[in-house]
Amino acid sequence: MAGGWTRDGGVQDQINASVEDAVKLARSRLPDGESSNNCEECGTVISDARRKAIPGVRLCVGCQSEREERQTTPTGFNRRGSKDSQLR
């Protein structure tokens, strides 16, 4: 009986965490006024063309795509983990 409550709580925590992540992600993609002259990740100069094309841009092309790759595949680990446990 008590187990049901514990499980619900855990799921809710996970949902809260992913909502928070989604909000952070959405905020990180919102134009934030000024574009940076340099990539905030690696310091590379961001070209005028890129700054005009993406208002509020803060990352160079390389860092931006790297960051998006990381953010779009957060479930890879969990999927692999559950597959392993099913095999055992």
Q: What residues line the site for Zn ion (CB under 5 A)?
A: 39, 41-42, 44, 60, 63
Q: Partners of 45 in the beta sheet?
A: 38
Name the minimum Å distance from CB 78 to Zn ion. Answer: 29
CB of 71 to Zn ion, least distance (A): 16
CA–chain centroid gap for 13, Å, is: 18
Q: What does residue 44 show for φ and ψ, rounded to 5 degrees?
A: -60, 140
Minimum distance of Zn ion from residue 54's CB (angstroms): 13
Minimum CB distance to Zn ion smaller for 57 or for 60 = 60
Q: What residues contact 41, with CB distance under 8 A and at least 6 apart?
A: 59, 60, 63, 67
Closest CB to Zn ion among residues 17, 42: 42
